[in-house]
Structure 1
Amino acid sequence: MPGSHCCVKNCSNTSHDSHGRRRNNGIQFFSLPKWTQHLGEQVSDRTRRRRLAWLAAIRRKDLTFDLTPPWMSVCSLHFHSGIPSYEMLENHPDWTPSLLLGHNDVKNTDQARYQRQLRCRTQKLERPSPPTQDQLQAQALPQPPAQDQLQVPPPPDQDQEQTPPPPGQDMECGLCTSRRDVINNLLEENRELKRELDMYWMNENFLGGDDNTVKYYTGLPNFALFQTLLLTLTPYLPQGRMKKLSPFQLVLLTLMRLRLDLPIQHLSHLFRVHRTTVADAFHHTLGVMYAQLCPLVHWPSRECLLTSMPHQFVESFGNNVAAIVDCFEVFIEKPSNVLARAQTFSQYKHAYTMKYLIVITPQGVISFISNGWGGRASDKHITEQSGFLNKLLPGDIVLADRGFNIRKHVGMMCAEVKIPTFTRGHSQLEAKDVEETRPIAHLRIHVERVIGNLMPLDKIVTVCCALTNMCKSVV
């Protein structure tokens, strides 16, 4: 049966009937008090004793201090005022249920006595404090007459009866004034502490709309682009599973880890959540970003390339340049598997790496990114196996480094490869080679600048490529 049940003996009140419809009989239900342990020793002791007192008043063997079903409650018929009192008012008659408990061992509560005690305490607080020694000495000294006392007051009207003002009407309790000043000071201090806390809390006010802050923490050029990305991803973010982190925090956390490569433990400290929560948040948000942003990395049509071809490429190679290709490597930890070590060790880097083929257009947009290969794989092998060659059309020109020995394979696609001959070791180029190489070498700097914005691992690399395409072009 849904709803709440009164757990007092011989009380059959429920919040819903047998058909699941809520009863409108004016009876309220209150859960058993919880033991609060994180608000200080006094609150912990008071709430613990109150929970014990409720269980003692109910007297049911199936209800213990550590086990009380959530649907078991106490209805309002068992309290004098119809509701439980504030948990810190232990002397209040409704601090525990005391009416119609179904047994005779009930301590009688005197509500009138409690009201008398409350009035006595109130009068004692409002009673003016006795004068101090300095005040008594000041009263003993003769006081000069005030300016208004030097004037002779007019004679009272005999027809009007002089009625003195009631005592205390024009006089304010000094204790109340002092307490009000203390409360105001505490409220102001609380507001100031909240303002300072907002400066360090990783919430919606952290970036503050500042483009420089956005660029440092996320890599995005401005706050407007961050807002656009947030609005795009919010409907797909795992909000139910990450209750402690808002969609803003999920996106910010993921971008900070991609941009700054911050450890999970450090992000856990910044966002004030457990490290497993940070790891799950990064994993799920990265998956959403991969699914939603990977279409931004796509191969453009030849018409699009011709429409926006930079004039430097047109002057040097005509208007058929379709791609600039290169490979980059990302350092990884030493694999535990012997075969994986052999596949990932790079002779060029003398370390364990993952290698990726990246292709950008003359406009500076990433148009293709391969899957990750072990650092041992050659640039030629990755180019042949990545699927890049299948995207070329007859007449396309591809700019590549000397390591890309793919003339034969590109020629099969009726395309052309331009390979600049850079200086290797101590050998010198002839003047003719230098002049032919200079324009290509000058334009290849675009792909190097794009590679500098990327991060490792297949899914992360794709997301970083998509985010790079969202930013301003390097050309």
Structure 2
Amino acid sequence: MPGKHCCVKNCSSVSHDCRGNRRNHLLQFFRFPTWKKHEGEHVSDVTKRRRISWVAAIRRKDITFDRISESMRVCSLHFHSGKPSYEMLENHPDWKPSLRLGHSEVKQTDEVRFLRQVNRRTQHQEQPPSPAQHQEQPPSPGQHQEQPPSPAQHQEQPPSPAQHQEQPPSPGQHQEKPPSPAQYQEQPPSPGQHQEKPPSPAQECALCSSRRDVINSLLEENRKLKEELEEYQMNENFLSGDDNRVKYYTGLPTYLMFQTLLLSLMPYLPQGSLKKLSPFQLVLMTLMRLRLDLPIQHLGRLFRVHRTTASDAFRHTLSVMYSRLSPLVYWPSRESLLTSMPHQFVESFGKHVAAIVDCFEVFIEKPSNVLARAQTFSQYKHAYTMKYLIVITPQGVISFISEGWGGRASDKHITEQSGFLNKLLPGDIVLADRGFNIRESVGMMCAEVKVPTFTRGRAQLEAKEWRRLGP
């Protein structure tokens, strides 16, 4: 183990000998103080001055403010207490090394003088008498001017700092001349005074005041950083109170609907193997991937988990959502359709419209298997896709979703093989796009019709042409 050497001139302190054995267990070695630039203006100024003071005290040509080797150490023999003081105690004698520096250019600090300064500051910041004492013996306006305190009163009860300022001393006490305010500051309190009236815990010195200001600034900075961090964390507060954000990230219209979905899925979500993610985060991550098609690695970065953990969470949560939400997609009865049929469909097609069909495609990655690659390539999208048949009622409710097919499959083939035709009853009318050439499969005559034009203010929205499949 390499030993540590003191960098002070003419100091031969070494932590270990040539055999690696520690020489003196009481001897400690300390690094040069660092300049803390990002912890507030006051801390930056104090730490910068302290680093300059250490460099000036060591006084070596190879040690500058910007060039200090990591191996440079100062042993405990150069400090009064055997170690450096707290960095904010700038008046402390051990704020910088001052003993046995090998030169006389730096004046040796005095520890007794520092203690006297602390005692004087503590004495001047003593609290005034409590309000109860003022109420018991209120002084009259002329009391201090006409009747100065006698020596006996000084012996029975020590005067407070306010009495020293207001009442002049009696001639018997000070025969030469009355004490000035400077003399009160230079004279430390006697041991008897400290025994009779010890300072309360609320009394503070000037160092405590500066230290309190630094602590308050750090606490305020910590609070602001926590607020900024809370805003970017993917927790319960990320979506609450902002329906626009809920709709963008999840596709759900309101935050209340998201909470309803979460409560229905929470008892079935995986929690043992995915303890790093809460149920809220599991559902939010799954909906964000379905809505925005975000990569797994990016989701792991957002939720601060590994990519494998994010992938497992999405796969398990998606299976839970399928098992719990798939019963919501069901084929309605004809009576329920006739009860709530929109009047636009009644006016144009009568009361027998059962479904509106269409196919949608989802982009996927390029499959590694050659056969799967040929089955999923879509000539219309010029990419690899999966195609699904979706059926909605005239009321806008999804009533049927087929299994996934390769993008190469035609709309007619998916409609015939998905099992959708088995759900139709005689007399049902199906509205479809031009690409659905399934009149032979249905076995009925078809006629082209147009959906009526709907007017919204000045803008007119005209729907596509549909095919009427029915009797």
Q: Is the 8 A contact 1:329 1:356 kept in 2?
A: yes
Counterparts of 1:343-382 in structure 2 under 5 Å?
343-382=375-414
Q: Is the 8 A contact 2:249 2:288 kept in 1?
A: yes
Would you say 1:163 and 2:157 are equivalent positions? yes
Q: Which stretch shows the higher mean deviation, 166-175 or 385-394?
A: 166-175
2:236 counterpart SS class: coil
2:450 counterpart SS class: helix
Find the counterpart in structure 2 of residue 248 from structure 1.
280
Counterparts of 1:12-411 in structure 2 under 5 Å?
129=114, 152=145, 154-156=147-149, 160=153, 161-164=155-158, 166-167=193-194, 169=199, 172-411=204-443
TM-score (norm 2): 0.56
Q: AA paired with 1:184? A: N
Q: Is the 8 A contact 1:400 1:418 kept in 2?
A: no
> How far off its partner does 1:391 sit?
0.6
Q: Is the 8 A contact 2:450 2:464 kept in 1?
A: no
> Distance in 1 between the 2:240 and 2:348 partners?
45
> Distance in 1 between the 2:297 and 2:445 partners?
47
> How far off its partner does 1:346 sit?
2.8
Residue deviations 1:280-316 (CA, integer Å, cap 9, x gap): 1111111111111111111111111111111110000
Residue deviations 1:58-115 (CA, integer Å, cap 9, x gap): xxxxxxxxxxxxxxxxxxxxxxxxxxxxxxxxxxxxxxxxxxxxxxxxxxxxxxxxxx
> How far off its partner does 1:410 sit?
2.3
For residues 417 and 342 of structure 1, do their structure 2 counterparts lie closer, same or farther at Cα, with a shift above 3 Å needed?
Answer: farther
> Distance in 1 between the 2:156 and 2:313 partners?
79
Structure 2 segments unaligned to the other structure (5+ residues): 1-81, 87-91, 95-110, 121-140, 160-192, 455-460, 467-471
Q: Is the 8 A contact 2:433 2:465 kept in 1?
A: no
> Distance in 1 between the 2:424 and 2:209 partners?
84
Q: AA paired with 1:155? A: P
Q: Is the 8 A contact 2:342 2:395 kept in 1?
A: yes
For residues 254 and 419 of structure 1, do their structure 2 counterparts lie closer, same or farther at Cα, with a shift above 3 Å needed?
Answer: farther
Q: Is the 8 A contact 2:378 2:408 kept in 1?
A: yes
Q: Is the 8 A contact 1:352 1:375 kept in 2?
A: yes
Give the one of 437, 451, 472 matched to 2:450: 437
> Distance in 2 between the 1:254 and 1:299 partners?
27
> How far off its partner does 1:418 sit?
5.3
> Distance in 1 between the 2:440 and 2:453 partners?
20
For residues 181 and 240 of structure 1, do their structure 2 counterparts lie closer, same or farther at Cα, with a shift above 3 Å needed?
Answer: same
Find the counterpart in structure 2 of residue 18 from structure 1.
none
Q: AA paired with 1:439? A: P
Q: Which stretch shows the higher mean deviation, 161-170 or 337-346?
A: 161-170
Q: Which stretch shows the higher mean deviation, 151-160 or 224-233?
A: 151-160
> Distance in 2 between the 1:272 and 1:302 partners?
50
> Distance in 2 between the 1:446 and 1:215 partners?
31
Find the counterpart in structure 2 of residue 85 from structure 1.
none
> Distance in 1 between the 2:362 and 2:146 partners?
98
> Distance in 1 between the 2:263 and 2:293 partners?
24
> How far off its partner does 1:127 sit?
8.3
> Distance in 1 between the 2:405 and 2:319 partners?
21
> Distance in 2 between the 1:181 and 1:405 partners?
80
For residues 210 and 267 of structure 1, do their structure 2 counterparts lie closer, same or farther at Cα, with a shift above 3 Å needed?
Answer: same
Find the counterpart in structure 1 of residue 130 from structure 2.
none
> Distance in 2 between the 1:176 and 1:344 partners?
73
For residues 419 and 223 of structure 1, do their structure 2 counterparts lie closer, same or farther at Cα, with a shift above 3 Å needed?
Answer: farther
Structure 1 segments unaligned to the other structure (5+ residues): 1-116, 136-147, 421-435, 448-475
> Distance in 2 between the 1:327 and 1:190 partners?
53
> Distance in 1 between the 2:413 and 2:401 partners?
15
> Distance in 1 between the 2:246 and 2:465 partners?
24
> Distance in 2 between the 1:418 and 1:241 partners?
55
> Distance in 1 between the 2:450 and 2:366 partners?
38
> Distance in 2 between the 1:301 and 1:190 partners?
61
Q: Which stretch shows the higher mean deviation, 302-311 or 322-331?
A: 322-331
> How far off its partner does 1:406 sit?
2.2
2:114 counterpart SS class: coil
For residues 342 and 315 of structure 1, do their structure 2 counterparts lie closer, same or farther at Cα, with a shift above 3 Å needed?
Answer: same
> Distance in 2 between the 1:443 and 1:297 partners?
29
> Distance in 1 between the 2:465 and 2:254 partners?
22
1:325 counterpart SS class: strand
Q: Is the 8 A contact 2:451 2:463 kept in 1?
A: no
Residue deviations 1:397-419 (CA, integer Å, cap 9, x gap): 111223323223324xxxx6756
Q: AA paired with 1:207? A: L
> Distance in 1 between the 2:257 and 2:242 partners?
12
For residues 315 and 180 of structure 1, do their structure 2 counterparts lie closer, same or farther at Cα, with a shift above 3 Å needed?
Answer: same
